[in-house]
Amino acid sequence: MAQIWLIRHGQTIWNVQGRWQGQTPDAPPLNATGVAQAHALAETLAQHAAEVAFQALYSSDLLRARQTAEIVALRLGLLPVRFDPRLREVNLGAWEGMLGDDVALRYVAELEERKRNPVYSRPPQGETVFELAARVGQALDDMARAHPQGNILVVSHGLAIATALCMANGTPLERVFDHLPDNATPHVIVWRI
């Protein structure tokens, strides 16, 4: 039974603009606010490290998460970052890089379907919440097996973390969009395998 500290990456300009990032390789790095958030997060975790022995630090391999995790690792000074692509954000397909308002104008039927069926609907060329939850859950299972009594830091993305929060707390995935975390804020869960 591992304790997992789920952390969403720091802010990017696309977060500010309301642009949908997903897994696009064109997504920008952390902005100045995001870097400051990552440093503040690292200080908070360093204070916890006096009481909590963090055994591992895992991160999505996408740039914004990587940057956040590397800032944390540098401050904690003892953990290498282990990158795992299963911790990536949901693949938003054709919506990646678009402003939310533009998605709403161009993909009316698809967004209506997403509201009706949030778990199994799919953006054009994208991934469902169910598929996202399956890969994130598998990654967390593997981490919990590797560190069964440990405290594990995981830097990931909004919807990926929301699925983990739902699964850990027994919340139906249909409510996943109600559990999107703020940037650079830890959420501690107990992960049972």
Task: Please confirm, yes or no, whether 147 is among the known catalytic residues.
Answer: no
Nearest to 20 by CA among 97, 87, 93, 91: 97
Instruction: Work out the angle at residue 76's Cα, subtended by the Cα atoms of residues 70 and 78, and round it to the nearest 5 degrees.
Output: 90
> Which 8-state DSSP code applies to residue 186?
E
Q: Which amino acid is present at 129? A: V
CA 80 vs. chain centroid, Å, equals 19
Active-site annotation holder among 9, 147, 179, 187 = 9
Q: Is the separation of the CB atoms in 169 and 147 below 8 Å?
A: no
Task: Please confirm, yes or no, whether 9 is among the known catalytic residues.
Answer: yes
Active-site annotation holder among 48, 51, 70, 89 = 89
Residues labelled catalytic: 9, 89
